[in-house]
């Protein structure tokens, strides 16, 4: 076990000074994650001590540079722009144990996360002809004062096969591609394939020469951003190129083979073979002529290179070459790729967007790109008639007619109609709804990546309310039955959360349930990269040192994040944070949530600043007791516990049901007694004592009493006389 703050401040200081590896020779990944949490605590203490200015000094200073795993210094002021991509930017890094060792740090851009699921696997494959991660984790970033996720790699390779897609270079011959590119990286592709890992970043500017003679190459990294997000559309198969960059999903091994084919074409051409065409034109051309013809129409290709291009650029994934077939071809075997099957052509064209369309995929893509114009084509019945007359497809035409007949009024109903019609027109294309275009397994990721865009959020909610993902899964045959079942369950869960808007549910809960490694996006901690429940309280502890008792305790993001990260909290959070105008219940609910997080994530840890802040914030809770003695007792208990750092104990002290019940019962009895006394006072002040009726009644009582006394005395006297 790695010692934490509870084991003494000296360990934290040793970590901050970069000596964690001296303290812990065996430093496993889970321990590194925990150590990152303590690094944050040390940083927070430094800010409170008034030395935060030191954190933002020139990062090349070893004493102030962000530190990863206590060993690697990250240098924000030494960028490497040639290695930047859409999801991350590159800077230099230094190994304190080996300063001469060349390292590069890929820093994830705000709002994006790396491929956390495969980093541990790839970090163990150090002998592959591929750039694999050495270390990873969040570090304190000087510019923002928050944390950024960093992935560290060796930086001994500077020369890529090509620059970005718009850069021309000296074309390679076929034999150079075979012996200097394909064969050297095949072992990496086979290893990834054997582990069912998709690279999803195969492109000419991400393959590097491994020696000064340029006789061999290695595959570049693929983990520093969401899957496939940085790939140019040219490198993507037709369905992925149609999707938003953020909605391409996990992809398949066949997608990697397609990218390999495009890279070969780029290397043969010495640059982009579709230079001058927009992304939309490239996709439309691939649909119209097939990927092979669209990419190679301007190339002069030898017979030897036609084989792999035809095999790898086959638009039907089931006919596309596999890694084994590519290996056979590279070893000299002659293979016979299948001829590309182009989409069936209509007997007559349909005009849309001032263009004549002869195929269903081509029209489907054009309608998705011109959403507002697509409505008229569908609602007028022209689309159904075209399918019926030009393809003889009565089933599809009738399905679209049924959709038109069952569609309600309004813009949302119209948008749902277009989306459903596109599913009928071309079931294997991405799910499209207004500006959203995503492979079905990429919907959750595209929600996370675009969450800060309010228009996107509203569109996503509309799409889910129309059950369009579930409808897509029923109409599409693209995924296996088991995968469709899992995805259907996921989207049903999303719909459930969206139908319940109390804290702990809603779109925020869907975000974190659908993206298990995504950091919490709450404005309270959004810059601190908290993606695990165990990291939440240490970050809040640091924030609590500078917060005031008037600040917000918890918001919808924190509630959804906690509920998604623990089954226990999933049940507790909506109950603790049920909508209420009662300030006492609201603050007590927030404390209860954090206390449960403390119990789950590590009850032995102590958070004195956070506990003291919460104790101050929940003052209205104990002040709500009516019994002064009990109120004073609770106040003293809160003050005592507040300095101990135990959230669970604080919650138990305030969530005292028996004390609340006794206070309520005592208050009810006091109200009754008060009411009785008040009635008596009102009766006296109102002249009730001297009222005639009261005097007569009391007089009769007195007369009766005196008569009885006189009678008793008389009887007693007679009895004495008689006896004597």
469 and 371 fall within a common domain: yes
Mean per-residue pLDDT of the chain: 85
Residue predicted with more confidence, 591 or 53: 591
Q: Is residue 109 part of a domain?
A: yes
366 and 449 fall within a common domain: yes
Q: Residue 213 and residue 702: Cα distance in Å, rounded?
A: 129
Q: Is residue 168 part of a domain?
A: no
Task: Look at the block and give the residue holding tokens 């009516």.
Answer: 626
537 and 635 fall within a common domain: yes
Q: Is residue 662 part of a domain?
A: no
pLDDT at 15: 33
Q: Residue 139 and residue 506: Cα distance in Å, rounded?
A: 31
Q: How large is the average pLDDT for residues 439-462?
A: 95
- pLDDT over 60 at 198, yes or no: yes
Which three-class secondary structure string do you get for 30-81? HHHHHHHHHHHHHHHHHHHCCCHHHHCCCCCCCCCCCEECCCEEEEEEEECH
Q: Residue 506 and residue 288: Cα distance in Å, rounded?
A: 42
Lowest-confidence pick of 57-66, 164-173, 226-235: 57-66
Residue 262 near residue 461 (C-beta atoms within 8 A): no
Local confidence band at 329 (pLDDT 50, 70, 90 cut-offs): very high
- Residue 684: CB atoms within 10 Å: 11
pLDDT at 477: 56
- pLDDT over 60 at 489, yes or no: yes
Residue 430 near residue 236 (C-beta atoms within 8 A): no
Q: Is residue 463 part of a domain?
A: yes
Domain boundary at 297, 330, 363, which? 330
Q: How many domains does the chain have?
A: 5
Give tens-digit pLDDT for 661-716.
Answer: 777 777 787 788 878 887 778 767 777 667 777 667 777 787 788 888 888 888 88
Q: Which helix (H) or strand (E) holds 660?
A: helix 657-685
Give tens-digit pLDDT for 264-303.
Answer: 999 999 999 999 999 999 999 999 999 999 999 989 999 8
CATH number, residue 216:
1.10.510.10
Lowest-confidence pick of 225-229, 487-491, 639-643: 639-643
- pLDDT over 80 at 30, yes or no: no
Q: Is residue 672 part of a domain?
A: no
pLDDT at 371: 95
Helix residue ranges per DSSP H, 148-278: 174-176, 183-194, 238-242, 253-269
Residues near 322 by beta carbon (within 8 Å), at least 6 away in sequence? 253, 254, 257
pLDDT at 479: 53
User: Would you list the DSSP string of 395-414?
Assistant: HHHHHHHHHHHH--SSHHHH
pLDDT at 327: 95
Beta-ladder partners of 91: 79, 105
The boundaries of the domain holding residue 45 are 5-154
Q: How large is the average pLDDT for residues 433-444?
A: 95
- Looking at residue 7, the DSSP 8-state letter turns out to be G
Lowest-confidence pick of 86-100, 215-229, 466-480: 466-480
pLDDT at 505: 92
- What is the share, in percent, of the chain residues with pLDDT greater than 70? 88
**Which among 159, 142, 135 is positioned nearest to 209, based on CA atoms?**
159
Q: How large is the average pLDDT for residues 97-121?
A: 94
Tokens of 48: 């409170």
pLDDT at 307: 94
Q: How large is the average pLDDT for residues 98-111?
A: 93
Q: Is residue 167 part of a domain?
A: no
- pLDDT over 80 at 485, yes or no: yes
Give tens-digit pLDDT for 304-316.
Answer: 999 999 999 999 9
Q: Is residue 103 part of a domain?
A: yes
575 and 613 fall within a common domain: yes
Residue 21 near residue 2 (C-beta atoms within 8 A): no
- pLDDT over 90 at 657, yes or no: no
96 and 234 fall within a common domain: no
354 and 489 fall within a common domain: yes
Give tens-digit pLDDT for 43-67.
Answer: 444 333 333 333 333 334 555 789 9
Q: Residue 71 and residue 228: Cα distance in Å, rounded?
A: 30
pLDDT at 54: 35
Q: Is residue 505 part of a domain?
A: no
561 and 466 fall within a common domain: no
**Which among 350, 345, 413 is positioned nearest to 381, based on CA atoms?**
350
320 and 186 fall within a common domain: yes
- pLDDT over 80 at 624, yes or no: no
Q: Which long-range contacts (CB under 8 A, 24 or more apart) does 469-474 make?
A: 469/431, 469/440, 469/443, 469/494, 470/495, 471/420, 471/423, 472/423, 472/431, 472/440, 473/440
- pLDDT over 80 at 480, yes or no: no
Largest CA distance in the chain: 156
For the chain, state the CA radius of gyration. Answer: 37
Q: Residue 205 and residue 163: Cα distance in Å, rounded?
A: 5
248 and 366 fall within a common domain: no
pTM reported for the whole predicted model: 0.82
Q: How far is CA 689 from CA 518, 686, 692, in A?
A: 77, 8, 9
Q: Residue 90 and residue 131: Cα distance in Å, rounded?
A: 14
pLDDT at 582: 67
Which three-class secondary structure string do you get for 552-596? CCCCHHHHHHHHHHCHHHHHHHHHHCCCCCCHHHHHHHHHHHHHH
User: Would you list the DSSP string of 475-496?
Assistant: H--SS-HHHHHHHHHHHHHHHH
306 and 349 fall within a common domain: no
- pLDDT over 70 at 354, yes or no: yes
Give the best-scoring range by mean pLDDT among 40-49, 63-72, 173-182, 710-719: 173-182
368 and 428 fall within a common domain: yes
pLDDT at 549: 62
pLDDT at 4: 37
Residue 572 near residue 593 (C-beta atoms within 8 A): yes
Q: How large is the average pLDDT for residues 253-262?
A: 97
Lowest-confidence pick of 232-241, 364-373, 495-504, 583-592: 583-592
Helix residue ranges per DSSP H, 302-410: 303-312, 323-330, 360-369, 371-379, 382-390, 394-406
Q: Give how far the C-alpha of residue 145 lies from the chain's centroid of Cα atoms, to the nearest Å.
A: 21
Lowest-confidence pick of 19-28, 74-83, 169-178, 579-588: 19-28
217 and 313 fall within a common domain: yes
């Amino acid at each position: 076990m790695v010692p934490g703050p509870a084991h003494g401040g000296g360990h934290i200081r040793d970590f901050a000074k970069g000596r964690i590896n001296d303290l812990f020779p065996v430093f496993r990944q889970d321990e590194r994650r925990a150590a990152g949490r303590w690094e944050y605590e040390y940083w927070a203490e430094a800010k409170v001590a008034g030395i935060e200015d030191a954190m933002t000094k020139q990062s090349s200073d070893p004493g102030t540079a962000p530190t990863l795993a206590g060993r690697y210094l990250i240098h924000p002021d030494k960028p490497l722009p040639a290695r930047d991509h859409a999801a991350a930017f590159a800077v230099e890094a230094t190994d304190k144990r080996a300063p001469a060792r060349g390292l590069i740090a890929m820093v994830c851009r705000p709002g994006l996360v790396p491929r956390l699921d495969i980093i541990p696997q790839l970090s163990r494959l150090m002998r592959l002809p591929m750039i694999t991660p050495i270390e990873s984790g969040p570090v304190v970033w000087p510019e923002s004062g928050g944390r950024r996720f960093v992935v560290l790699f060796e930086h001994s390779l500077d020369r890529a096969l090509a620059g970005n897609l718009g850069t021309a270079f000296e074309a390679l011959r076929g034999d150079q591609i075979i012996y200097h590119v394909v064969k050297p990286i095949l072992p990496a592709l086979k290893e990834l394939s054997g582990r069912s890992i998709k690279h999803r970043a195969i492109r000419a500017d991400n393959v590097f020469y491994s020696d000064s003679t340029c006789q061999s190459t290695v595959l570049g990294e693929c983990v520093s951003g969401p899957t496939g997000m940085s790939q140019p559309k040219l490198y993507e198969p037709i369905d992925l190129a149609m999707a938003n960059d953020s909605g391409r999903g996990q992809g398949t091994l066949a997608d990697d083979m397609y990218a390999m084919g495009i890279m070969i074409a780029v290397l043969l051409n010495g640059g982009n073979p579709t230079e001058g065409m927009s992304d939309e034109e490239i996709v439309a051309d691939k649909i119209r002529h097939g990927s092979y013809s669209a990419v190679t129409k301007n190339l002069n290709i030898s017979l030897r290179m036609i084989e792999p291009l035809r095999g790898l650029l086959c638009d039907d994934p089931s006919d596309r070459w596999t890694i084994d077939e590519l290996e056979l071809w590279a070893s000299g075997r002659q293979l016979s790729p299948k001829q590309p099957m182009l989409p069936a052509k209509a007997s007559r064209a349909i005009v849309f967007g001032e263009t004549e369309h002869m195929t269903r995929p081509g029209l489907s893509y054009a309608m998705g790109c011109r959403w507002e114009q697509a409505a008229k084509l569908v609602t007028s019945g022209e689309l159904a008639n075209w399918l019926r007359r030009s393809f003889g497809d009565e089933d599809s035409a009738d399905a679209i007619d049924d959709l038109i007949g069952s569609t309600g009024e309004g813009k949302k109903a119209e948008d749902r109609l277009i989306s459903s019609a596109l599913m009928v027109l071309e079931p294997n294309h991405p799910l499209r709804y207004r500006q959203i275009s995503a492979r079905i397994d990429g919907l959750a990721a595209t929600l996370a990546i675009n969450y800060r865009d309010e228009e996107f959020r509203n569109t996503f909610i509309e799409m889910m309310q129309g059950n369009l993902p579930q409808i897509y899964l029923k109409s599409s045959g693209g995924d296996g039955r088991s995968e469709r079942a899992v995805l259907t369950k996921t989207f049903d869960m999303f719909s459930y959360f969206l139908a319940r808007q109390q804290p702990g549910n809603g779109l925020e809960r869907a975000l974190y349930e659908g993206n298990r490694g995504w950091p919490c996006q709450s404005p309270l901690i959004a810059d601190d990269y908290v993606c695990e429940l165990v990291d939440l309280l240490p970050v809040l502890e640091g924030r609590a040192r500078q917060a005031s008792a008037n600040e917000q305790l918890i918001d919808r993001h924190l509630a959804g994040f906690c509920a998604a990260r623990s089954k226990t909290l999933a049940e507790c959070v909506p109950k603790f944070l049920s909508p209420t105008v009662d300030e006492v219940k609201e603050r007590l609910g927030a404390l209860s949530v954090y206390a449960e997080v403390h119990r789950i994530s590590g009850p032995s840890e102590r958070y004195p600043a956070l506990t003291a802040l919460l104790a101050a914030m929940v003052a209205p809770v104990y002040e709500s007791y009516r019994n002064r003695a009990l109120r004073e007792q609770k106040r003293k208990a809160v003050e005592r516990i507040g300095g101990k750092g135990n959230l669970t104990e604080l919650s138990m002290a305030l969530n005292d049901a028996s004390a609340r019940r006794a206070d309520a019962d005592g208050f009810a009895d006091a109200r009754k007694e008060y009411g009785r006394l008040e009635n008596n006072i009102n009766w006296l002040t109102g002249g009730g004592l001297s009222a005639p009726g009261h005097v007569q009644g009391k007089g009769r009582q007195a007369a009766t009493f005196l008569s009885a006394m006189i009678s008793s005395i008389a009887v007693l006297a007679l009895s004495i006389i008689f006896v004597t």
